[in-house]
Amino acid sequence: MSNVSAHLEDPDTKEKDVVAHFEYAQEHVTHEENLAYLNEAILAEEQEHMGVIEALKRYPQATFWSFMVSFCIIMEAYDNALIGNFMAQPAFQKHFGVPVGDGTYQVETPWQGALNNASTIGAFIGILICGYIQPKLGYKKTILGSLVAMVALIFIPFFAETLPVLLVGQLLCGLPWGFYNALAQAYGSEIAPLPLRGLFTMYNQSCWCTGQFITAGILYSFRNGTTKWAYKIPFAIQWVWPVPLIAILAFAPESPWWLVRNGKIEEAEKTIMRLEGKSKRDPTHVIAMIKRTIEIEQKEVEGASYREIFKGVHLQRTIVACFMFAAQNWSGLLVGNNATYFFTVAGMDPDNAFALSLGNTAIQWIAVTAAFWAITRIGRRTLYLWGVGFQATMLILIGIVSVASKSSTAFWIQATLLILVFASYGFTIGPVTFSIVAEVSSVKLRAQTCAMARAGYYAAAVGSNYISSYSLNPLAWDLKGKAAFIWFGTAIMVFVFTFFLVPETKDRSYRELDVLYHRGISPRKFKTTVVEKNEDE
């Protein structure tokens, strides 16, 4: 075993040589050495089975660094909600819009759709670029580079005086935002012990809600502003995040899984000791567990590239991951994201609309916090199915009430149902999606799968944003509450897909998930299928 260790621990080994190393190991180890290696891997995996509270006590540094990386998502969520709600701000409407005949202004529908989609398109491009860069540079260097780029790009929307310049600024700012979503959930899932994996990945949704809550609060403060500073200051607040995050994340550890994949074994052992804190696991045992999982995947995948995620069993995993993120746009979220605009076009005055939107985001943040408890006790799949079923019910009720009556009472019923949609999303679909996507992807292809999945979200968001803009804008379809019928139909589609194709990943190690996928087990049977601790196939 010593010869194998020396061969694998060469710090200059590149990822393309890892396959050769594993083949070398299989050819030269004795039966006793192989048994000892397997026992180490099994022991490390068994030691991950513990309660959530105990895991938080044993792994404080892993928790801290996962949360710090996830803070980057606050910026994307902030801007994502910013532009959509600016459409209801009088100062923004007057500067960038056209008069509609009643003394008010509206941004023309094509420009409204383009602005809502600009950062989404930029993020789509950025996330694909990230999939090429991260395997070579690692998580830490990649995310630091994206933060530096963010500092420079914010200048464009801040100084924009025309719609074309603002559009370009939003497009370019989207590039680093794409990096954040691909990296945060993948990084969190790789440094997390088994009981904390769901918490670390779903924390991204908490950060998303935080960003939207900050947006709602700031826009409420500037709701009556009459000068350009009513929307320029909210743009400038984006600078609050990157600089301190750069200073903090400069000291972040790299993912030990990435280090092992790239042959940096000694550095991986040091990182494991740093991340595990009070854990009593031997770092060499953890390395054995990581190698074992990678060895299983070597049988199905040659390298870490986008091409590999569309081959064999990985295609199924990629489809599930991509659909899960795309489905966030089809479950009623877009109606909630444009809640302020929804309320104003329905006849509510801007003051009350911004206040109600602020309360809406606060309720979702509370719901996400409650989801931290639910995801540790209820399966990912079960929680998701209940969530999308509930939201579909609320959406069809919104549509029915909108058709049945145009009274103020009917409007407030719709507003209440919309808040319930937002709360349900925060408790189920929003946070659970991040966990499912990170867990269904294989270890070796996690960065590429998460990147492609988030790209699927952005691709779906482009068309969905246009539909949302046209369905609500008084200058276009002007459907008001009847727009909920559109999203009811898509929510039913999401429910059917989830029921048949999304597996239960709770309490499953990455090795067990690999084995279940390689066996071709039906996703509906993942929860009940037994995988013995010594099985690799």
- Which residue shows structure tokens 């075993």? 1
How far apart are the C-alpha atoms of 250 and 234, rounded to whole Å?
27
pLDDT, average across residues 5-16: 45
Q: Are 166 and 160 in contact (CB under 8 A)?
A: yes
pLDDT digits (tens, 9 = 90+) for 254-270: 988 889 888 888 898 88
Q: Count of domains in the chain?
A: 1
Q: Are 428 and 383 in contact (CB under 8 A)?
A: yes
How far apart are the C-alpha atoms of 142 and 130, rounded to whole Å?
8
Establish if 220 belongs to a structural domain. Answer: yes
pLDDT digits (tens, 9 = 90+) for 28-68: 545 555 656 566 767 767 766 667 788 788 888 888 998 89
Establish if 36 belongs to a structural domain. Answer: no
One-letter amino acid for residue 194 of the chain: L
Structure tokens at 327: 């489905």
Confidence of residue 79 (pLDDT cuts 50, 70, 90): confident
- DSSP state letter for 106: E
Establish if 56 belongs to a structural domain. Answer: yes
Residue 46 has what pLDDT? 74
Cα-Cα-Cα-Cα dihedral sign, residues 352, 353, 357, 360: positive
Q: How many residues does the chain have?
A: 537
Confidence of residue 22 (pLDDT cuts 50, 70, 90): very low
Least confident of 111-115, 152-156, 394-398, 442-446: 442-446
| Residue range(s) defining the domain that contains residue 507 | 45-525
Establish if 216 belongs to a structural domain. Answer: yes
pLDDT of 471 higher than 50: yes
Q: Who wins on pLDDT, 249 or 450?
A: 249
How far apart are the C-alpha atoms of 360 and 358, rounded to whole Å?
5
pLDDT digits (tens, 9 = 90+) for 192-230: 887 787 778 778 878 887 887 788 788 778 877 778 888
**What's the gap between Cα 191 and its chain centre?**
16
pLDDT of 191 higher than 70: yes
Establish if 497 belongs to a structural domain. Answer: yes
Establish if 18 belongs to a structural domain. Answer: no
Confidence of residue 332 (pLDDT cuts 50, 70, 90): confident
Establish if 151 belongs to a structural domain. Answer: yes
How far apart are the C-alpha atoms of 533 and 44, rounded to whole Å?
11
Residue 463 has what pLDDT? 79
Establish if 532 belongs to a structural domain. Answer: no
How far apart are the C-alpha atoms of 193 and 395, rounded to whole Å?
38
**What's the gap between Cα 463 and its chain centre?**
19
Q: Are 174 and 119 in contact (CB under 8 A)?
A: yes
Q: What is the CATH number of the domain that holds 212?
A: 1.20.1250.20
Give the percent of the chain with pLDDT over 90. 9
